[in-house]
Structure 1
Amino acid sequence: MKTALLYDIKRSLLKPVVLFMLILFAVLGIATTYSMYTFIANTYTPIEGAAMHIRAIDRNSTSCILIGGIFDRRGDLVEGSVAFIVNNSKVYGFEGASTFTVENPNICRYNIEKIEVSTQLLKFNITCNTVPLNRYPILLEPTSVSIPYSSQAIANSTSHVAVSLCGRVDGYLYIDSALVVFKMLINNLRSARARLYVFSVNISSMNTGLEKPIVLNYTFSAIAGTRNNKSQGSIAIKDPLEKFDLTLDLDKNFIQFYPIKDSKSSVTSISYSYQIYVERSYINFITGSLGIGLYLSFFPIAVIYISNILVSKPRSNGALEFVLARPITRFDLYLSRYLAGVILIAISSFILLTVIAIFQPLVLRIEFDLWSYILLYLGVSASLITFYTLCYTIASIARSGLYLAISIALYILFSMMWSVITVFTAMWLGISIMSQGYEELTYMLSYLNPLNFVNLARYHILLSYGAIHDIPTINSPLCMIIPLAWNLTLFVIGFWRFKKVNLTS
């Protein structure tokens, strides 16, 4: 009997449609990654660069230096070809570099307008900005200029030097005749790890050799310029390009660097709230309706079809009666075909998320931690298996035509009309759709919708990344018990009816 049970599971799975679906969802994983790449690339570039260009104001001088790098969202260096553009013409360039230090005369007499970068993933431009002044030409952002009139030291040292900052540079300091520029990228949001790149140039001698190592303390604060006197760490800058791995305080918004000697005029505040926003936007995207939600919108149609070909259709044409001619009970028949669908859903979901997990770091340079992938997989599987159990229960009772009508109606209800039901429920309860109460109601109603169980997993992922506030009404053990209760109840009801139905055509 055990052999017959395994044979029926194997026979149910070895169908051309099953192989087609497995291939389809591998392709869907790639397509989902590409759609996320399009979103991220258009909104938040997955690869970016930063550089500073320092040159003498005297046009006859060939004294200059340009130092920079190409980074991905995780803070890893990325190789690419680089071209420096002046008056829409390339004046200098090279290939196969992730960091660059250039002292070529071709880039000394003019302000670099932009740096064209080409990597295997994409092409983009780094815009450079220069203040056309002999004094205080320090730029902080591509679209804004900061002229630090209060710093007499910078004024004296840069009166004959022009400084351009290219790309999104996070901060700078002028210390001991050296200009130090900071570029910070979040490496892993959940563990609060960040990677800091520091470019430094000795302005007095116009070279990358520092007169002595620069040691900076750093601290975290909620407001820029408000420094906690208690240092929370330090970094030592010895080379023109340095890399440091830091652990951020996600309850604060700024990290502030200042010299050991602690001159108040030499302090820079770097905001990392923007980068946290980028990471959280990505997390919202992959777990939302345009990410894994697309899979949950269309796969239930396949679930309806699977239940139809495993139970409803064979029952309608009398094929199940012939299956029972083998040494197999009705329970074995019901269980084997049910498990075949569960295995197919579990494998399809695993393939989809595995493909996403493989391609996301390669394409987007952003990734989940393993626990978040596991939680998302459990949520997706719980939603689809529960909906499959519901369809399987109906298929074991109703014949093919009636089954398709009922299951499609349930799909429309749970997938397309649920948001409308949620809105009307909120209106009936007097809850504003813009309030926190509406968000809590949305999650509470997820217990009643098998296709929304993934939202409960999504909530825990977003909560772990700080992308959503805590909702006291969501109980973690209940999030596991409810899907199990749904499946067990439906399975028992389905078999109770299946053992009484007439299997003849």
Structure 2
Amino acid sequence: MNPVLYDFKRAFIRPTTIIALAVFILVGIGLSYLVTISLSMSAGAIYPMFLAKLDVETGEFTIYYVAYDSEANPTTAHVEVSILFGKLESLEIVKTFTFNAKGYHVFQASLDSDVLGLLSEKPLYLRVASSTPFGFMEMTTIFPPKNNKTMSAFSGDIFISNGEAVGSILAVGMAFLKNSELIITLLSELPSEGFELYYALSSGLGEGGFDEALLAGNVSTGLTVFRINLSELGVNITDTTMVTLYLKDPEGVTYTSKPGLIIRVKTGVTQRRITNVAAGSAGIGLFSQFFPIVVLYLAYTLVAKPKGMGALEFLIARPVTRLEIYVTRFLAGVLTAPVSTGVFLIALNSSIFLLTGYSIEASNMLILFLGIAGSLIAFYSVCYMVSTILSGGRYLAVSIFLYLFFTMIMGILVYVTAYLMYGLTPRLSEELLKMQYTAYYFNPLGLTSFATYYVNKTISPENFPDVPVVNPYLVVVAGVAWTLLPAVTGWILFRKANLSK
């Protein structure tokens, strides 16, 4: 077996590394839940809509429900439906239902006679709370006073009534503009088959008129989605463009909606939100903060420990040169860093995808991988150099101090220095930021911070400030220097070192 691969196998497939990696794989999976929970706790960023029907004679309650994320894609949702009674400012819950929706969902239940009896006194209200992987939203609407057999409550930007009685809603919908595609999504409960949907675009609040309307397609009870390529129609959508919907029944009777606003979809927003949370200190930062401990232990097991036990001196007595020992064990540790980083990031990203349907963009994943792996390699090179002159407990003491210095003490010194130089002045924040990133050049673990900087600039350039001291060429030079200089210095020291102590 190739000596490098052999030592890599010994370095990577050892209990300490495997256990640490297994822990961080579990951490990666756990962090994917943290990312999802962080997103789900934000208000808004989703578009739920529903159409609820209540038969006041039998108590049969039906709700047609669907929720879309910020990119107009159906999403999973935990939904809590509450029927309330009383005045709007002091509503009392009389019945609550819950269900899980995977995209479009129909939920049915029966209301007790005592709940139906309340209809003769005051109107009932319907509250629908939606919790999704991308945010939550709560909507409250009214069931109008009892004046017909079926009552309707709904939430959506556009609705179509049959015009016969208050609350008799045939359909409710939303319109999205995604690139050049107009997406009309419609929830409906229709008395028969054979309905057709037409749409008309207009500027402002004026209706386009049925004569100007275009056929979208056939509609049936439940969810119907229409996708219209506007570029083929030569239509230009502005911020004030409205859409009016027309339902035409088999007899030719047309039911019209009020003009509704078209929601402009910004693609990539959800992916950027996920990346922002995942790249934060509670996400990938956790791995980059603690895995260097495994790296310093690798240098201990590959050089410092066998050196203190006289094992390296025994190897020299065989037809193996010092250079071969030094290079193979150095490369073994270097290979462990990117492999461990890759396994962790794959576990994290795969779990996020399974939970949300989205993943961190490939280019940002590559930047984070290079930053984290580069930091671990540079720190390993420093620890490897130390292992050539110290062994056993002395190596562990020095390497642990270096870990604490580069991960915590150095940052504290930067804060103290910035405060002593600028005090509590308006310049403090700006100058502190410059000093922090300048210090990263002198930190073998600083590549991770530079990587997250470039990722944040990519996903949110308008919200993340430019730091003039950050230069991509200097970042590369610093990473290479932190890897090669300790490695070369270590070889000079190792070549003359006493391998028996």
Residues in 1 aligned to 2:417 and 2:162: alpha-carbon distance in whole angstroms: 65
Q: Is the 8 A contact 2:303 2:384 kept in 1?
A: yes
Pair 458,216 (structure 1): closer, same or farther in 2 beyond 3 Å: farther
Could you tell me which amino acid in structure 1 is paired with residue 449 of structure 2? N
Could you tell me which amino acid in structure 1 is paired with residue 201 of structure 2? L
Partner of 1:463, secondary structure, is: helix
Could you tell me which amino acid in structure 1 is paired with residue 198 of structure 2? P
Deviation at 1:471, TM superposition (A): 3.4
Aligned to 1:37: 36
Aligned to 1:214: 199
Pair 48,341 (structure 1): closer, same or farther in 2 beyond 3 Å: farther
Residues in 1 aligned to 2:124 and 2:96: alpha-carbon distance in whole angstroms: 11
Aligned counterpart in structure 2 of residue 499 of structure 1, from 479, 495, 500: 495
Could you tell me which amino acid in structure 2 is paired with residue 405 of structure 1? A
Deviation at 1:101, TM superposition (A): 6.3
For structure 1, which segment, 104-113 or 493-502, has the greater mean C-alpha deviation from structure 2 after superposition? 104-113
Aligned counterpart in structure 2 of residue 300 of structure 1, from 292, 307, 321: 292
Aligned to 2:450: 456
Higher alpha-carbon Rg: 2
Pair 296,44 (structure 1): closer, same or farther in 2 beyond 3 Å: farther
Aligned to 1:68: 65
Could you tell me which amino acid in structure 2 is paired with residue 450 of structure 1? P
Could you tell me which amino acid in structure 2 is paired with residue 492 of structure 1? V
Pair 394,268 (structure 1): closer, same or farther in 2 beyond 3 Å: same
Could you tell me which amino acid in structure 2 is paired with residue 130 of structure 1? T
Alignment of 1:14-53 (within 5 A): 14-43=13-42, 49-53=48-52
Partner of 1:460, secondary structure, is: helix
Aligned counterpart in structure 1 of residue 320 of structure 2, from 328, 336, 353: 328
1:16-69 CA-to-partner distances (Å, cap 9, x unmatched) read 33333332332222122233233333446998843244789xx67999985431
Residues in 2 aligned to 1:424 and 1:405: alpha-carbon distance in whole angstroms: 26
Partner of 1:113, secondary structure, is: strand
Aligned counterpart in structure 2 of residue 258 of structure 1, from 221, 226, 242: 242
Aligned counterpart in structure 1 of residue 186 of structure 2, from 177, 199, 202: 199
Pair 184,316 (structure 1): closer, same or farther in 2 beyond 3 Å: farther
Asked whether 1:98 is paired with 2:109, we answer no
Deviation at 1:333, TM superposition (A): 0.6
Partner of 1:284, secondary structure, is: helix
Q: Is the 8 A contact 2:128 2:139 kept in 1?
A: yes
Asked whether 1:376 is paired with 2:340, we answer no
Aligned to 1:139: none
Residues in 1 aligned to 2:487 and 2:182: alpha-carbon distance in whole angstroms: 51
Deviation at 1:112, TM superposition (A): 5.8
Residues in 2 aligned to 1:494 and 1:102: alpha-carbon distance in whole angstroms: 69
Partner of 1:20, secondary structure, is: helix
Partner of 2:489, secondary structure, is: helix
Aligned to 1:149: none
Deviation at 1:434, TM superposition (A): 6.5
Could you tell me which amino acid in structure 2 is paired with residue 299 of structure 1? F
Partner of 2:441, secondary structure, is: helix
Aligned to 1:113: 126
Pair 311,371 (structure 1): closer, same or farther in 2 beyond 3 Å: same
Residues in 2 aligned to 1:438 and 1:486: alpha-carbon distance in whole angstroms: 24
Percent identical across equivalent pairs? 24
Question: What stretches of structure 1 of length at least 5 have no aligned partner?
Answer: 135-159, 187-191, 219-224, 227-233, 248-253
Residues in 2 aligned to 1:360 and 1:162: alpha-carbon distance in whole angstroms: 41
Residues in 1 aligned to 2:393 and 2:109: alpha-carbon distance in whole angstroms: 77
Aligned residues: 446
Asked whether 1:480 is paired with 2:480, we answer no
Asked whether 1:466 is paired with 2:460, we answer yes
1:220-242 CA-to-partner distances (Å, cap 9, x unmatched) read xxxxx99xxxxxxx998554632
Q: TM-score if structure 2 supplies the norm length?
A: 0.71
Q: Is the 8 A contact 2:77 2:102 kept in 1?
A: yes
Pair 242,388 (structure 1): closer, same or farther in 2 beyond 3 Å: same
